[in-house]
Chain A
Amino acid sequence: MNLREHGRMALRMMLLIREFEQRLKGFADEKLIRGSTHPSVGMEAVAVGVSMALGPNDCIASNHRGHAHCLARGADPGRTLAEIFGRADGYCKGKGGSMHIGVQELGILGTNGIVGAGIGLATGAALAASVSNRNEVAVAYFGDGGSNQGVLAESMNLAAIWKLPVIFVCENNHYAQSSAIERMFAQPQISQRGPAYGVPSVDVDGMDVAAVYDAAEAAVTRARSQGGPTLIVADTYRFLGHMADDTQMYRALVEVDEWRGKCPIDRLANTLTAAGLLSDQERNEMSAEAKREVDDAEHMARQSPVPSAQWAFTDVDTWQAAEGVVA
């Protein structure tokens, strides 16, 4: 990553995601959010580094922890939050919620409630590009936990034999819900799985947005030049619980503190400052700007009306309105 060119943009986006995600717990406590929401605080560099390497016609398939993927891909924070609140202005009219945010115009094939599902979907998006000779790339985001679904093995093999332009991005944050990687992997270096299927694979420091960007850029270049898939495994960590009500008894607080010391936002900001590309004042202004942007998003989401009752029955398919619930 050329820090002069991209550094501030990356910082701005990471600050936005951090501010957005940190407010969710309060919204859940306020009962503005139902069900489960999974924040990406601490993992901002992965979504941002990958997204900056993509072009406007590319697409992504996300997972349950997907707000960051959407925002980094250019999703409007207000409409994203409105969806998380289940409001009419949400991207999916309030019908999807946090785990089902799809945005056709941005090439977002959805956040996903089924762990691993996005891996197959992104492979299919790359297949569409390949079948129709479009020079597009697809990204699958999944976690360390998701990589234990069989669909990863099957998709990597398929993508490798057909040289599909797909990038498998594993966000290894060391836990799948309450399960530490040490307990779920006999071989925890997930990047070893790619070569077994002929998929070039790379480990990257997921707390370093520049390193993530560089790895993603190389993968995009390979994909666009008919070189086929890449597996990127980003070493990262979630600073907050798996979801809002998580006791976190499965991990030690000192471990969380240690990782907080590797904060990807501080890291980039310090690098930029050291390189003379960012003053303290500018940094503070950027933080304030992120707060304002999320304030605006929050205002919009709070004001947004509840969905029209009739919408419960629309969009199912192209046939008749839904039947049932005779009253």
Chain B
Amino acid sequence: MSVVAAAAVDVSQAAAGSRPVPMWRALNAALRDAMSADASVFVMGEDLTRWGTGGGIYGVTKGLLEQFGAARVRDTPISEEAIVAAAVGAAARGVRPVVEIMYSDFMLLAMDAIVNQAAKARYMFGGQFQIPLVIRTNGGSGIGKAAQHSQSLETLFAHIPGLEVVVPGTPADAYGLMLSAIASPNPTIFLEHKALYNERGVVASEPIPLGRASVVRGGKDVTVIATQLMRKRVLEAAEILAAEQIEIEVVDPRTLYPLDMETIAASVTRTGRVLIAHEAPLLYGFGAELAAQLASRLWRSLKAPPQRLGGARTPIPYAEDLEKRVIPDVAAVVSAVRGLVKS
């Protein structure tokens, strides 16, 4: 498939340039470029064409119907299980579905199709089948959507052999990783963050390979690993800490699987101290996986035990004062880093 190469040429029309665009627009551009480059790419999901000003719950599919027509831009009934299962079957037969599930919480209705079907088909059938499927959805808390529209489920998917898990934190990453996800022969869970759709950033015209972490800010004292909303908070914390002469290096893995341990380990080797911060509950989160890998790989270079920061083991409460309590805030990052530096 030459999706990526061809798309790179097209992007100039869509989003690339020096003007910052919001995350939703960057995703929209990626879909348009991928669909222009490869006629086998199509999108389907609930309320993609007529909601808002036409374009899905957060606008990501805006204008696609007009440009590509109803055969390739499909509004579905509310039937998550059938939508995803059908996408898996379609992918097995040589097309490239990009499914939108309105909130990642609704992915749970499609878990058989994702876990038992999409993730295993290639292996079970001895490598005969490819499932070039992308499921786009959004996770995360912060805007009062409450318990059933705010979960961070990335670890659930990262735990399943056969799935790729993408967690973009900037418009540029969203654009570049979406092109790669669509081009990938594997099923990809593409988790957007609902609180970041209007974050702006400049988008480059290139795909970003899956499995490449990004060093977002350099620093010598502590490596802090974070994605999406926590990445944003960590960058705010970095300013506060810099005023105290504590320099943190911020690394965004960008994809949880494949995971770029080389970049992460190189950073931790330099700093000797690491904090992993995520929004998902602390217990059994991806922070535990990273901490374990880093501890066993870099035992001798570590100046302190790896530390983790994560959400409370609670569903996401509705009231603002409560919602704030269960997710690490900037102050929590700052004090965790201070603690690490002292240790």
How many residue-residue contacts, CB under 8 A, span A and B?
Answer: 162
Question: Given A249-B53, A325-B325, A326-B309, are A34 and B318 neighbors across the interface (CB < 8 Å)?
Answer: yes
- Residues in B whose Cβ lies below 8 Å from that of A185: 77
CA distance A114 to B332 in the complex (A): 32
**Inter-subunit contact A97/B327 (CB<8 Å):** no
Q: CB within 8 Å of B: which of A6-53?
A: 34-36
Chain B interface bracket (under 10, 10 to 19, 20 to 34, 35 or more): 35 or more
Judge whether A194 is part of the interface by a CB distance below 8 angstroms: no
Our pick among A36, A95, A249, A327 for the contact of B319 (Cβ within 8 Å) is A95
- Residues in A whose Cβ lies below 8 Å from that of B320: 34, 86, 306
B43-51, B155-163, B195-203: which lies at the interface = B43-51
**Inter-subunit contact A178/B146 (CB<8 Å):** no
Please report whether the interface of chain A is mostly helix, strand, loop or mixed according to DSSP.
loop
- Residues in B whose Cβ lies below 8 Å from that of A34: 143-145, 318, 320
Our pick among A98, A112, A113, A312 for the contact of B326 (Cβ within 8 Å) is A312
CA distance A326 to B49 in the complex (A): 43
Q: CB within 8 Å of A: which of B253-293?
A: 281-283
- Residues in B whose Cβ lies below 8 Å from that of A97: 144, 146, 318-319
0 or 1 for each of A56-98: is its CB under 8 Å from B? (1 = yes): 0000000000000000000000000000001100000011111
CB distance from A266 to the nearest CB of B (A): 30
- Residues in B whose Cβ lies below 8 Å from that of A116: 78, 109
Question: Given A312-B314, A325-B282, A325-B311, are A150 and B82 neighbors across the interface (CB < 8 Å)?
Answer: yes
- Residues in B whose Cβ lies below 8 Å from that of A87: 319
CB distance from A187 to the nearest CB of B (A): 12
Name which of B47, B82, B281, B310 has the most chain A CB atoms within 10 A of its CB.
B47
Judge whether B301 is part of the interface by a CB distance below 8 angstroms: no
**Inter-subunit contact A35/B325 (CB<8 Å):** no
- When C-beta atoms are compared, the residue in chain A nearest to B328 turns out to be A325
Our pick among B54, B75, B81, B318 for the contact of A100 (Cβ within 8 Å) is B318
0 or 1 for each of A128-156: is its CB under 8 Å from B? (1 = yes): 00000000000000000110111000000
- Residues in B whose Cβ lies below 8 Å from that of A275: none
CA distance A86 to B145 in the complex (A): 12
Question: Given A312-B312, A325-B309, are A247 and B52 neighbors across the interface (CB < 8 Å)?
Answer: yes
Question: Given A35-B145, A115-B78, A325-B312, are A95 and B317 neighbors across the interface (CB < 8 Å)?
Answer: yes
- Residues in B whose Cβ lies below 8 Å from that of A94: 317-319, 322
Judge whether A313 is part of the interface by a CB distance below 8 angstroms: yes
Judge whether A258 is part of the interface by a CB distance below 8 angstroms: no
Judge whether B67 is part of the interface by a CB distance below 8 angstroms: no
- When C-beta atoms are compared, the residue in chain A nearest to B318 turns out to be A97
CA distance A170 to B80 in the complex (A): 19
**Inter-subunit contact A323/B312 (CB<8 Å):** yes
Judge whether B336 is part of the interface by a CB distance below 8 angstroms: yes
Our pick among A95, A179, A327 for the contact of B50 (Cβ within 8 Å) is A179
CA distance A167 to B241 in the complex (A): 60
**Inter-subunit contact A306/B321 (CB<8 Å):** yes
**Inter-subunit contact B309/A307 (CB<8 Å):** no
**Inter-subunit contact A250/B336 (CB<8 Å):** no
Q: CB within 8 Å of A: which of B77-93?
A: 77-82
**Inter-subunit contact B319/A322 (CB<8 Å):** no
Judge whether A253 is part of the interface by a CB distance below 8 angstroms: no
Name which of A35, A116, A150, A247 has the most chain B CB atoms within 10 A of its CB.
A35
- Residues in B whose Cβ lies below 8 Å from that of A96: 146-147, 318
Judge whether A261 is part of the interface by a CB distance below 8 angstroms: no
- Residues in A whose Cβ lies below 8 Å from that of B94: none
Please report whether the interface of chain B is mostly helix, strand, loop or mixed according to DSSP.
loop
- When C-beta atoms are compared, the residue in chain A nearest to B325 turns out to be A312
- When C-beta atoms are compared, the residue in chain A nearest to B339 turns out to be A326
- Residues in A whose Cβ lies below 8 Å from that of B78: 115-116, 145-146, 148-149, 176
- Residues in B whose Cβ lies below 8 Å from that of A306: 319-321
Our pick among A35, A115, A179, A322 for the contact of B312 (Cβ within 8 Å) is A322
CA distance A258 to B11 in the complex (A): 46
Judge whether B335 is part of the interface by a CB distance below 8 angstroms: yes
Judge whether A324 is part of the interface by a CB distance below 8 angstroms: yes
Judge whether B129 is part of the interface by a CB distance below 8 angstroms: no
Judge whether B58 is part of the interface by a CB distance below 8 angstroms: no
Judge whether B193 is part of the interface by a CB distance below 8 angstroms: no
CA distance A323 to B314 in the complex (A): 8
**Inter-subunit contact A322/B313 (CB<8 Å):** yes
**Inter-subunit contact A95/B51 (CB<8 Å):** no
**Inter-subunit contact A309/B321 (CB<8 Å):** yes
Question: Given A100-B148, A179-B47, A322-B314, are A149 and B79 neighbors across the interface (CB < 8 Å)?
Answer: yes
CB distance from A80 to the nearest CB of B (A): 14
**Inter-subunit contact B283/A114 (CB<8 Å):** no
CB distance from B237 to the nearest CB of A (A): 12
CA distance A95 to B77 in the complex (A): 30
A and B contact pairs by CB, cutoff 8 A, 19 listed: A35-B146, A36-B149, A86-B318, A86-B322, A94-B319, A95-B322, A99-B146, A100-B147, A100-B148, A113-B147, A114-B148, A150-B82, A249-B52, A306-B320, A309-B321, A312-B317, A312-B322, A325-B325, A326-B282
A interface vs B, CB < 8 Å? 34-36, 86-87, 94-100, 112-116, 145-146, 148-150, 176-179, 183-185, 247, 249-250, 306-307, 309, 311-313, 316, 322-327
